[in-house]
Every structure is written in structure tokens, then in C-alpha cells.
Amino acid sequence: MVYLHGSTFGADLSIFHRLDGCSWADALGDAGYAVWGFDWAGYGRSGRYPFGATEPVGRMADVLPQLRRVIVAIRARNGDRPVAVVAHSWGASVGAAYAARYPSDVQAMVLFAPIVPRAPDPRCTGATAAAPLASHYPVTLWAQYRRFVEDVPRGQPQVLGEAHFHAWGQAFLASDPGADTRLPPSVWTPAGPMADVRAWWSGHWLFEPAAVKASTLLVRGEWDSLCTDADAATLLNALGSEHKSDCKIGCATHLMHLETQRVELYRQTNEFLRAPCLH
């Protein structure tokens, strides 16, 4: 299987990041899967976009050819078998778009908290419309920390311990060699995914969901405001897959793969990939 990361941090900070000695890749490997992960251009160990761009870089149209190269390379090493895609957030929507365009490459998909088109919000039009996006934007540790706490209901325990966040946060800043040159320190992040999200939340699909035929599990957290019950229904109803299911895991948010409920995410993913319909 091949993992596609989301919009603000790469594979080393997600599927390969160990918490209490175990990563999601470890759990998949223990279940017998060969796990591949990579960073989109602009993230982690991959190259950066040329300096001087004036439009958001790293949009879906930019990254689909990157994913094509990755999957072609993997199939050249695995006997030309199709792959399973496990993907998070914006990356999950890119994965679905890839499966629609190259159906013979993708046997199954686990779409973890995908971003899904929503009806346009009339409050975000006219004078209140969002400002134009630059090519990149800075993401601080505080911005990342907020993502772990803002959707947790009052009175509930935190979903990521302080020690875990400290270790993860240091690795996050280290993923950008220029992070410490900014005040506050921050990771320079491609704005293309944000532009895609704006398009999706203006009602645009950016791909044809009915062309997706791969068996699909949509898995998400109970407290995820970016992938709600309505979002899950929208996507699953639109997909052309014969086998598709929705799994909502309690006491988890959009970043469940780094939270206390991550083990349940691992379990649900493994159970789906072992399903008889995939073999």
C-alpha cells in the first residue's frame, strides 16, 4: 500500500512517525503489507518549488503526475500488481481523483478524513470572500497545536499528550531547514491544497467521483469538523465503487493518526484491507 499525506506535514510526520514506539506503518507492516510513503513536492524530504511563484503551488493538477510516477515505480517493483491507497485529508481527495483517472492502478482505498465538496456558503462571497492566495504560507507550531484541540468538546481529555506533541513539534519544524529563520519559527507550506479546499467548499469536485471503482473505506473521527457526517454521505453516495463503507471512530479529530484513538484507526484499516472482496 502507498500512503498519501495531507496538506501541512509529510510522510515522516504521519504514517512513519512513531508514538510510544509504534507507527502506522509499523502496524501495517505487522499485518503483512509492504508500506510505501513519499512527500509531495514542497514537503519533508522532497524538493521545493522554484522561488518566485505568484500562484498557489501544489494543487491537485500539480501533484497527480507526482503520484503517477510513484505508483508506476512501485508497480515496477511489486510484479505490476495494483496498489492499495491509504490517504489523509486533502491527500485522500487527491487519491480518489487518481483512482478515478487510473482505475487499473488502485485495488482499494482507505480515505481517512477526506475533504469533500460542500455547498457554497453565502457568507463567504462578495466583500467577505477570502483573499487571494500566495504560492506558500507559514505554519507555526501554535497553528498545529490548535488543530489538536479546537474540535475536542469542552470537558473531554486532550487527544494528544504534551510530551508527544513536543517531540512531534520539534520534528515538524526540523522538516523545513528555514523554519528557524522566521519569527515565530514556521514551516513554509505550499498553498495549492488550500486553494483546492476553497474550490471544494465552493461546490466543485475537481474530479469525477462516479469514475472511482476501487473498494473504499471512508474512516473519520467523531469530532472532525472537516469531514462530517454530511461530508461522508456526499462522497460515498457519489463514488462509483461497488464496495464502500463509512467508519466513524469516537473521541477523535481530523488528526486521529497521531491521537489516542490511532490504534483503532490502524485496526479498522487492517480489517478493511483484509476483506475477502479485495482478494
Q: What domain range is 67 assigned to?
A: 2-278
Q: CA 189 → CA 12, 104, 138, 182, distances in Å? A: 16, 32, 6, 13
Give the DSSP letter of residue 205: -
Strands 83-88 and 2-4: parallel
For the chain, 279 residues long, give each residue's pLDDT as a single digit of tens: 999 999 999 999 999 999 999 999 999 999 999 999 999 999 999 999 988 889 999 999 999 999 999 999 999 999 999 999 999 999 999 999 999 999 999 999 999 999 999 998 665 454 445 678 999 999 999 999 999 999 999 999 999 999 999 999 999 999 999 999 999 999 999 999 999 999 999 999 999 999 999 999 999 999 999 999 999 999 999 999 999 999 999 999 999 999 999 999 999 999 999 986 665
Q: Which of 215, 223, 164, 193 lies closest to 90, judged by CA?
A: 193
For 118, residues 6+ apart whose C-beta sits below 8 A from its C-beta are 200, 201, 203, 230, 231, 234
pLDDT at 237: 98
Rounded CA gap, 61 and 278, in Å?
A: 29
Confirm if 28 and 105 have CB atoms less than 8 A apart.
no
pLDDT at 173: 98
pLDDT at 127: 42
pLDDT at 56: 97
Q: How many helices (H) and strands (E) does the chain have?
A: 8, 8
* Residue 45, C-alpha cell as written in the block: 524530504
Confirm if 211 and 100 have CB atoms less than 8 A apart.
yes
Asked, as a colleague might, if the bond just before 184 is cis with ω within 30 of 0, I would say: yes
Confirm if 117 and 200 have CB atoms less than 8 A apart.
yes
Rounded CA gap, 77 and 70, in Å?
A: 11
pLDDT at 183: 95
Domain count, the chain: 1
pLDDT at 128: 43
pLDDT at 57: 97
pLDDT at 163: 96
Q: Which of 80, 84, 15 lies closest to 44, judged by CA?
A: 15
At 259, which CATH number?
3.40.50.1820
Strands 136-140 and 186-190: antiparallel
Confirm if 23 and 102 have CB atoms less than 8 A apart.
no
pLDDT at 104: 97
pLDDT at 213: 97
Give the DSSP letter of residue 48: P
pLDDT at 100: 98
